[in-house]
Structure 1
Amino acid sequence: MIRLNSEEQGLLADLEVLLAEAEPSAESLPTVLGALRDALKGERAVAYGVDVGPERYHASYSHFVGFPLPAATVHETLEGSMSSVSDPWGWFDPARPEPAQRNRALHFRSLAETEARQTMPLHDLPAVEVGRRLGLSEGELETVRERALTRSGAVFRQLGVENMAWLRTLVCEGPALLGWVGIGRAEPFTEREQRLLQALTPALQRRLTMETRLRESGLMSTALEVAMEALGRAAWVVSSSGRVVHANSAGRVRLERGEPELMELLKRGAQGIPCSGPLTLTPLRTSGLPAHYLAIDSGTASSAAARVHALSARWSLTARESEVLTHIVQGETNKTIAGRLGCAERTVEVHVTHLLSKAQVESRSALIARFFQTS
């Protein structure tokens, strides 16, 4: 096993510090990418994310260093190359990279050499080992090879990098791809350089995880949070990989119960797999952020009346308090409730105060959570 020498260890430490301390912004990742290119003696550097949408792949973000073309042109070329979900391009599936490729630095021959020699892409490895490193069987290798040369080849030529070898890592969080990070140059990379990128991959993972969380936080505006609470039923914002980004009060209660069926429905729905049952999903789109979905349990409302009846007896509610509770869990304001019941808004406020006391909670959101949590 090749160990990093003191100079390489120093480079690694410097890059890890840069990744950890660079201010999170659209401008900082290119700086990090440039430093990585210099450390690995590369000519080009690329980092991009993939938005796995219901119909097409899209580049959720992209950064390029060392290209003579404008960054916008490079991005458009990359974006234009992304094909339908049913036919992933290149040597990996962006929707779910093979475990063998996740967070692993791999050294690829140039496109020109691969075509000319009709050989496999990874440097100095037999086909069986290439398949193992890429998570592919021998039978799949040739099919994937032809597809990769066709699809990726066109993009490489458009960008003028068909004669470059590439050292790249698929930075993943579990099965989800956070980013493709690669360095290209005319000369093949050394085993030491490959090991340096491998050693740096955990720091890249931490960085790209943080960037992903920051993009996701921009999705959750106060307005959306309020709207989700006002639904009066369990709701979640889910990423395309099925990870719950945010939940309203009723949704959090469901998650805390640890319902495996619910998690499977959320994951399948976010991946575009038709699901039976009361769950409805609506796409949420925000610039720079992969597709997310608003998932709502439409069955919650249908069971609310029975739950109100049961809790009215348990909490010793009056008939009017039960009516107010019904409207509260549907997300209605005191003013709206007053209009529906034909009374003053101040009267509704009194009923709400009594409800909070009888349910032994201190806020409206806690009342809704208690309502859905109580068996």
Structure 2
Amino acid sequence: MGKARKFLSHEQALVAELKEALGNARTLEDVYEALSRALLSLCEADHLAVGCANPDGTAGVQWKTDTVHPLLKDYAEWVQEDFVFRATVAQPNLVLSDVQMLRGQPLVETETFRRSQGAGLKLKRVLASLLFTEQDLKGGVAMYRESSRPFTLRAQWFLQQIIPYISRAVARLQELYAVRFERDLLKAIAMGANPVLVLNSLGRKVADTGPAIPLLEQWFAPHELSDGVPRAWAERVRALSRFDVAVDPRLESLTLERGADRLDVTFSPSAVSWGGRNLWQVRMHERVHWLRPDWKEKLTAQESRVADCLHEGLANKEISSRLGCSVETVKVHIKSLFEKTGIHSRGEFVAKGRRG
């Protein structure tokens, strides 16, 4: 950026004020207001946008702007086509001008220019930087001008000098938002007693109640899980999150069976969303067989059916009718049950045989 520069006296006062405001910022709006007071007039910019990375771990940035919202509201859909993103992600924490980003490509041939025209903005100049710490995206800042006159090198230099302060501010915001987000999310999923997973629209785990992961490890083999989430469930959530096709309502629930045990699962949008995108609550209700596993494994299939009848309190004649066998056969099965479990009466069998 040319020869070494220093802050002018009025700039020093402005930077001191800006550092204090950024240090006290607790919302993205606070950061935006602080930067807009300092940057728009000093750098002669028409528009400003400040972003903070999503705290739920999903890709993308939520933006605060008073004037370029029409351009950025669907940004996630075309971000890979934006020449500003492509250039700044390759050189993080470095303020780049549109000339440096375009590298000779005509602005009018870019998707960014086309969309700005469609949004009624007619953006022609930009200074921007994506903010990273230890390879993690924290946020971004961009200034736009509708005039053909380029941003000055001093404006670019000035923004570069305050990038560290902006980066720290949005990194702190991300941490604050993550705490609030997790608190709200856990409050929402704590409404019921059953285990819950919360997945984002890509099927990745955002949160879970304590019993959820151990339960899934009982029902699925390790190769069927990714970060504790069944791969098939992640695919189901991705299907449910699609907007371009009609969603089959049958995807919203499923039942798994393993012997006499069942796991009922429902998929529903969470009461908490992030960045305008749905999160999905995956609620699980395990219905296990009433009989303790160590007894059940000793019994034949027919003896298990007789055991279920005893659990319901049925008499021998009722058991005979239900199972389609003679009363004498029922008696033989009951005797075998008692011998295998060391029990001497129906009541004792039911009382001691219940799963703990």
TM value normalised by structure 1: 0.48
More relative contact order, 1 or 2 (CA 8 Å, 6+ apart): 1
- Select the structure of larger CA radius of gyration: 2
TM value normalised by structure 2: 0.50
